[in-house]
Amino acid sequence: MTRKWVYLFREGQADWKDLLGGKGAGLAGMTLAGMPVPPGFTITTEACNSYYDNNKSFPEGMWEQALEALKEVERAIERKFGAAENPLLVSVRSGAKFSMPGMMDTILNLGLNDQTVKGLIKATNNERFAYDAYRRFVQMYGNVVLNIHKDKFEHILNEYKQQIGPKAKDTDLTTQQLKEIKDQFKAIVLEEIGTPFPDEPFEQLKGAIEAVFASWNNDRAIVYRRLNKISSALGTAVTVQTMVFGNMGDDSGTGVAFTRDPSTGENVLYGEYLPNAQGEDVVAGIRTPLPIAEMEHDPNFPGVYQQFREIAHRLEAYYKDVQDMEFTIEKGRLFMLQTRTGKRTGPAAVKIAVELVREGVIDEKTALLRIPADDLVQLLLPHVDPESVENNQLLTTGLAGSPGAAVGRVVFTAEEAEERGIAGEAVILVRRETSPEDLRGMVQAQGILTAFGGKTSHAAVVARGMGKCCIVGAGALQIASDESHFLIDGTDIVVEKGEWITLDVDSNEGRVLRGKAKTTAPELSGDFATLMEWTDKYKRLGVLANADTPVDATKAREFGAQGIGLCRTEHMFFDGERILAIREMILADTLVERQKALAKLLPYQKEDFAGIFRAMAGYPVTIRTLDPPLHEFLPHDDEQIQELAQGLGVSVEKIQRRLETLEEANPMLGFRGCRLGIVYPEITEMQARAFFRAAVEVHTEGVEVLPEIMIPLVSDVNELRVQREIVDRVAKEEGVREAGIEYRVGTMIELPRAALLADKIAEIADFFSYGTNDLTQTTFGLSRDDSGKFLPRYVERKVFKDDPFHVLDREGVGQLMQIGVERGRTTRPDLKVGVCGEHGGDPSSVEFCHIIKLNYVSCSPFRVPIARLAAAQAAIGETERDK
């Protein structure tokens, strides 16, 4: 027996999307539910795949089954395909499992020729309408099936319109003109392909089905699938359906509607309709459609709105999700042509999911799974109004350092950003790249734009921590040497200092716009809070934050962080007098001098740590000892060196000499991390002392404190051992345990060797925290600071699937992590393991952390909600998989 390739709508099921495609399954579902659907049938996706397997010929039996199904349709509608009297016309449409809007082909009004058009005139009593349908069909078929360029047809159409007048529309064409146009279209076909236009309706049908199959592999469809990660193996179904006409007069029309507002999520019918029109007129934007609500009182459509609203409710209740529907009204009668899951914005996704739970339609787990975690960004940060994006000139693009929107005047130095920012001005700090010295300017700027750097460059990491919009690696940006303006390479764009610009950054890309674009502020509605409470019920991973100041720690708590997973203590050194003290420490020649400088830093650090402990009452606070190479703390330009020399009473030469000694060929592989604390144990000692003193002080205030110290860039257990000895000694000296405080000492695992030797390291470490930024850098041998120059090409050309600094590389870096967890826990079964690299806030990476049984992830405060949702989704996904 031959396989069943063809299903009448009534033979299908609403959830057979794999077999019938989204459109075919929707039509089957609506038919079964007794809704008004013009009868038809669907040729399966399997037939499409067979078509390709068979060297582009229909699989055996398919055509015969299609003819059989067509007979059924004829019986149901009491019209005959190809008949001279009251002919049946059909549409032939594509429909894959996942909607690919506009990517594949559609043919309408199929079945018309010089005989059947007469039957249509008689049946409809409308000659103009019939000839319009006929010329549209020849035009569409000529283009889609016979591959004749659109312009050839448009040209003729325009000539006829010109004859009427300069502003003539399609609707102004007379019946006689339409007839002539149709004839001329046919003449073009003959001229272009050398054979006459196929008048035989069955031949037309065959050609149309083949064209839809072929459109599965047109360029647009291939690109769309690649972008949306849709498999090429799925194939498209073909739906053949009785034509209904929305262009048969004032009591006809067509429209599109959503069961809820897809941009806000509000529970109102949302959409538009266009009287006396066919679907493609809406898409082409020839006339402005009317809001759907107006249909309720439109005298041309009595009762239609009520009927449509009722159908919309039933469809949403059946699919348990927002539906996006297409309909046509033919002479006052409503017909449903399509229903599918409606796409929506992040805020709408949250509102809809929470309300559907409240209405008892879905459960909490389903609601959590429905929201793409990254889409929460749209709720958490301001963004540029999409209309503004069109109105403000796009100057250039760069990498998405930190998402959001920022509007301000261009400044080129951190000093100026700081000065003008404090004075209340909105500024955007534009730099070649940023260094820690720029921090104070960054704090005061609305946003940051750099020409160099990748997603884990200093500017990006710091900006994300502050939730501040930032674009990095805008390669075309060239700052004039006198810092009076910037240029965009390859264009004549010049932007002067002081001009307004807008940064607009989503999770993929950053855009620099000219002028002040309109932005919208984040709104953390009640539904958002509800959703976040649900995440806590299901997730297993803890979600902590990377925060360096009491202000950031407070923000992190507001977003639900369950502690601080990484406090980069060096960030505390940049404020006011502190930078002077750290510079004094670096320039010191003797231990005594160094200790003197460190003693100045201690009270500052202690105060900051105390503030963080208070903000994080009852939750762990993990600080990391000094990590970056020391040259990052010293000034590099002459003026600043001079200033420093004066401030500290040392010679310029001395600073320059020190700079030279600190210079390294590979600073990220150099004198940094625990190597600093090993060579200068007094630094670790001061930091531990400040931390423990703060802990004891805040504990005495009655606040629960959970101090944790971690040592960065460890590659060997002995490094950790010597650092731990210092920390334990200081803890004793400060009476930490005596005060009743439990503390832990752990390590970052950010070098491959540390992951491989995790069992040994776990003898000394109470916990591990994966520094996946450095671990990615060192595993790939890829610089996190400047790989932005070429890495995007890798992703574009599919050499790498994703940027490994953004989405954790499960295969390589992930394997090291898995090895590290397993080996570490052989030594210490209760070893706490987390991640604090940027991956801690990326949904796919969070899922991986769940799978390899980490205890927590830690990320920038603004990504905490995203990580919470991703952690819940990973946990729910796992239980669903086990079922």
Residues 6 or more apart whose CB falls under 8 angstroms from that of 801 comprise: 795, 807
CA distances, 60 to each of 63, 158, 212 (Å): 8, 44, 18
Judged on CB neighbours under 10 Å (0-12, 13-18, 19+), 348 is: buried
- Cα four-point dihedral sign 400, 402, 406, 412: negative
Which residues on adjacent β-strands are paired with residue 290?
273
Q: Which of 281, 685, 719, 774 binds Mg ion (CB under 5 A)?
A: 774
Please state, in angstroms and rounded to a whole number, the distance separating the CA atoms of residues 813 and 823: 15
| Beta carbon nearer to Mg ion, 262 or 712 | 712
Measure the CA–CA gap between 639 and 642, rounded to whole angstroms.
Answer: 5
Find the part of the chain contacting ligand PEP (CB under 6 A) among 122-130, 174-182, 220-228, 771-779.
771-779
Q: Give the integer Cα–Cα distance in Å for 709 and 724.
A: 9
Residue spans of beta strands (DSSP E) within 547-682: 564-568, 620-624
CB 598 within 8 A of CB 684: no
- Of 321, 774, 803, 847, the one binding ligand PEP by CB under 6 A: 774
Residue 568 binding result from ligand PEP, Mg ion, none, given CB thresholds of 5 to 8 Å by partner type: ligand PEP
Q: Which stretch binds ligand PEP (CB under 6 A): 293-301, 333-341, 715-723, 772-780?
A: 772-780
As a whole number of Å, the end-to-end CA separation of the chain is 36
Q: Which of 115, 74, 110 is nearest to 90 (CA)?
A: 110
Question: For Mg ion, which is the closer residue by CB, 505 or 835?
Answer: 835
Nearer to Mg ion, 597 or 816 (CB): 816
Positions in 91-110 near Mg ion (CB under 5 A):
none
Binding mask 697-736 for Mg ion (x = CB under 5 A): ----------------------------------------
Q: Which does 555 bind (CB under 5 to 8 A by kind): Mg ion, ligand PEP, none?
A: none
Rounded Cα–Cα distance for residues 643 and 641 (Å) = 5
Least Å distance between CB 236 and ligand PEP? Answer: 44
- Helical segments of 170-218, H only: 175-193, 201-215
Between 680 and 709, how does the x/- string for binding to ligand PEP read (CB under 6 A)? Answer: ------------------------------
Alpha helix ranges (H) inside 701-771: 717-733, 752-756, 758-761
| Residue 498 to residue 417: CA distance in whole angstroms | 11
Segment interacting with ligand PEP, rule: CB under 6 A, options 268-276, 495-503, 766-774, 806-814: 766-774
Q: Of the two residues 120 and 713, which places its CB atom closer to ligand PEP in the complex?
A: 713
Q: Identify which of residues 532 and 674 has a Cβ nearer to ligand PEP in the complex.
A: 674
Which residue's CB is nearer to Mg ion, number 98 or number 671? 671
Pairing of strands 427-431, 542-546: unpaired
Residue 836 binds which of ligand PEP, Mg ion, none (CB < 5-8 A, kind-dependent)? ligand PEP
Closest approach of Mg ion to the CB of residue 568, in Å: 9
Q: Report, in Å, the least distance between residue 283 CB and Mg ion.
A: 51
d(Cα 845, Cα 807) in Å, to the nearest integer?
6
Q: Rounded CA gap, 710 and 544, in Å?
A: 15
The single residue among 143, 773, 845, 873 that binds ligand PEP, judged by CB under 6 A, is 773
Near ligand PEP by CB under 6 A: residue from 324, 418, 504, 627: 627
Buried b (16+ CB within 10 A) or exposed e, 657-666: ebbeebeeee
Residues 791-820, mask of contacts with Mg ion (x by CB under 5 A):
------------------------------
Region near Mg ion per CB under 5 A, out of 186-194, 739-747, 748-756, 859-867: 748-756
CB of 598 to Mg ion, least distance (A): 23
Axis crossing angle, helix 201-215 with helix 62-77, rounded to the nearest 10 = 120
Q: Contact region for ligand PEP (CB under 6 A) — 430-438, 768-776, 793-801, 867-875?
A: 768-776
Closest contact distance (angstroms) between CB of 445 and ligand PEP is: 21
Q: Residue 11 corresponds to which tokens in the numbers above? A: 């033979």
Interface residue with ligand PEP among 364, 437, 750, 842 (CB under 6 A) is: 750
Q: 364 vs 627, which CB is nearer to ligand PEP?
A: 627
Residue 208 in contact with ligand PEP, rule: CB under 6 A: no
Report the distance separating Cα 324 and Cα 341, nearest Å: 6
Min separation Cβ 750 and ligand PEP, Å: 5
Structure tokens at 102: 């506009």
Question: According to the binding rule CB under 6 A, does residue 215 interact with ligand PEP?
Answer: no
Nearer to ligand PEP among residue 575 and residue 785 (C-beta) = 785
Distance CA 790, CA 321 (A): 42
CA distance 769 to 133: 67
Report the partner that residue 707 touches, choosing among ligand PEP, Mg ion, none (CB closer than 5 to 8 A by kind): none
What gap in Å lies between CA 871 and CA 883, rounded to an integer?
Answer: 19
d(CA 436, CA 635): 10
Token pair 């009287």 is found at 275
Applying CB under 6 A, the site for ligand PEP has a residue count of 11
Site for ligand PEP in 788-847 (CB under 6 A): 836-837
User: Contact letters (x/-) for Mg ion, 750-769, by CB under 5 A?
Assistant: x-------------------
Q: How far is the CB of 620 from ligand PEP (least distance, A)?
A: 16
Is 854 a residue that touches ligand PEP (CB under 6 A)? no
Give all strands of the β-sheet with 236-242 in edge-to-edge order: 6-8, 40-43, 236-242, 90-96, 106-110
Find the helix or strand (DSSP H, E) in which 295 lies. Answer: none
Closest distance of CB 756 from ligand PEP, Å: 17
Q: CB-wise, 245 or 633, nearer to Mg ion? A: 633
Indicate which single residue of 246, 279, 441, 771 sits in contact with Mg ion (rule: CB under 5 A). Answer: 771
Identify whether the C-beta of residue 867 lies closer than 8 Å to the C-beta of residue 539.
Answer: no
CA–CA dist 742, 356 (Å, integer): 45
The answer to whether 226 and 105 are in contact (CB under 8 A) is: no
601, containing H or E segment: helix 591-615
Closest CA to 107 of 225, 29, 210, 217: 210
What minimum distance in Å lies between the beta carbon of 453 and Mg ion?
A: 16
Binding mask 565-604 for ligand PEP (x = CB under 6 A): -x-x------------------------------------
Q: Say what the alpha-carbon torsion angle 635, 640, 642, 647 is, to the nearest 10 degrees.
A: -90
Q: How far is the CB of 789 from ligand PEP (least distance, A)?
A: 20
Which of 222-230, 245-253, 352-360, 770-778 is the region at the interface with ligand PEP (rule: CB under 6 A)?
770-778
Stretch that binds Mg ion, among 7-15, 392-400, 744-752, 758-766 (CB under 5 A): 744-752
- Of 234-242, 590-598, 769-777, 866-874: span binding ligand PEP (CB under 6 A): 769-777
804 conformational bin, left if phi > 0, alpha if psi -120 to 50, beta if neither = alpha
Q: Which residues are catalytic?
A: 458, 836
**Looking only at residues 461 through 490 of this chain, which bind ligand PEP when binding is defined by CB under 6 A?**
461
CB closer to ligand PEP out of 323 and 622:
622
682 binds, among ligand PEP, Mg ion, none (CB under 5 to 8 A by kind): none
**Would strands 323-330 and 485-488 be described as parallel, antiparallel, or unpaired?**
unpaired
Residue 311 corresponds to which tokens in the numbers above? Answer: 């159908």
- Interface residue list for ligand PEP (CB under 6 A): 461, 566, 568, 627, 750, 771-774, 836-837
- Interface residue list for Mg ion (CB under 5 A): 750, 771, 774
